[in-house]
Amino acid sequence: MSKQTYNPTTKYHHDKFPKQKQNPPGLQYEMKPVPDCGEKSYQGHQRLEGRKMLVTGGDSGIGRAAAIAYAKEGADVAINYLPAEQKDAEDVAKVIESVGRKAVLIPGDLSSEPFCKKLIEEAHKKLGGLDNLTLVAGKQTAVEDIMQLTTEQIIKTFEINVFSLFWVTKAALGYLKPGSTIITTSSVQAYQPSGNLLDYASTKTAIIAFTRGLAAQLGSKGIRVNCVAPGPVWTPLQICGGQPSEVIPEFGKQTPLKRAGQPVELAGVYVHLASEESSYTTAEVYGVTGGMHIN
């Protein structure tokens, strides 16, 4: 019997969003509506049985959806986030534990190289191994005019979005084995940059070069490296200055599917790229954009 058909334009929230603003990094549980990260809606099929995964930005949004899906697919999961996000992180741990998997919470700031090393050591030790890095954490702060874009912001955005990928990967390589996977997170902004996201869009293009270069370097070791490039997705990032607050009600309406994505709609792609199903896939970028497309 075929499954009930659905309409992608109405499958999730497709009305205007209520106006709202938080200070970064923001708390998902205070958002209206609360994003769907698969707490109830994602169904696993044991595609990552026994794997040990580390997800940065795993407390909320897209990283949270990946972390929850990984656990529902049978993996133990460590998540990294900022200390201010402890409540969101604890909610994720409860979901992971409710499906019988181990959750490890490691708060800390990825813009510090020593912390990136500590993160890997702790994840490896507490998980009892490490098979995957899912690098989702990111900073996005909209600034209309390059003349108002501070050097401090440019450096911070690059430290979090790009430099941390080098630091975390260097710390982890001694532990990764053939069959391990690394997944980075770029954006449609790498391909169609908005005028008010100059620093952010530049980091998202750098992430693609990092992904492809690292895949070339690690292919012979049997370690695959791929990238997910989301379009507009309903997460804390967007209501914490990622977009000017006046555009929040219409967020996502410009896409061919006429609504913002929900984080759970990205989960299947992260699972695919982490699992053996994608064993001949490396150096690729997968777009999940509501139709905005990535080239």
Site string for ligand NAD, 92-111 (x = CB under 6 A): -----------------xxx
DSSP, res 243 = S
Instruction: Please give the residue ranges that form the binding site for Mg ion (CB under 5 A).
Output: 25, 59-60, 85
Under the binding rule (CB under 6 A), the answer on residue 141 touching ligand NAD is no
Phi, psi of 230 (to 5 degrees): -80, 155
In whole angstroms, give the CA distance from residue 190 to residue 269. Answer: 18
38 is a contact residue toward ligand NAD (CB under 6 A):
no
Number of H helices, E strands in the chain: 8, 7
Report the alpha-carbon distance of residue 151 to residue 230 in Å, rounded. 26
63 binds ligand NAD (CB under 6 A): yes
Q: Which stretch binds ligand NAD (CB under 6 A): 5-13, 41-49, 94-102, 236-244?
A: 236-244
Task: State which residue, 11 or 156, has the beta carbon closest to ligand NAD.
Answer: 156
Beta bridge partners of 103: 77
Q: Compute and round to an integer the Cα radius of gyration of the chain.
A: 18
Catalytic residue ranges? 200
Does 62 contact ligand NAD by CB under 6 A? yes
Q: Report the C-alpha gap between 75 and 123 in whole angstroms.
A: 13
Partner interacting with residue 225 (select from Mg ion, ligand NAD, none; CB below 5-8 Å by kind): none
Task: Give 83 or 179: the residue with its C-beta nearer to ligand NAD.
Answer: 83
Nearest 10 degrees: Cα torsion 124, 129, 134, 137: -10
Please tell me the distance from the alpha carbon of residue 74 to that of residue 104, in angstroms, as a whole number. 15
Which residue has the closest beta carbon to ligand NAD? 61
Contact between 290 and ligand NAD (CB under 6 A)?
no
Out of 226, 238, 278, 282, name the contact with ligand NAD by CB under 6 A. 238
Alpha-carbon span 21 to 114, nearest angstrom: 32
Interface residue list for ligand NAD (CB under 6 A): 25-26, 57, 59-63, 80-82, 85, 109-111, 136-140, 160, 185, 187, 230, 232-233, 235-238
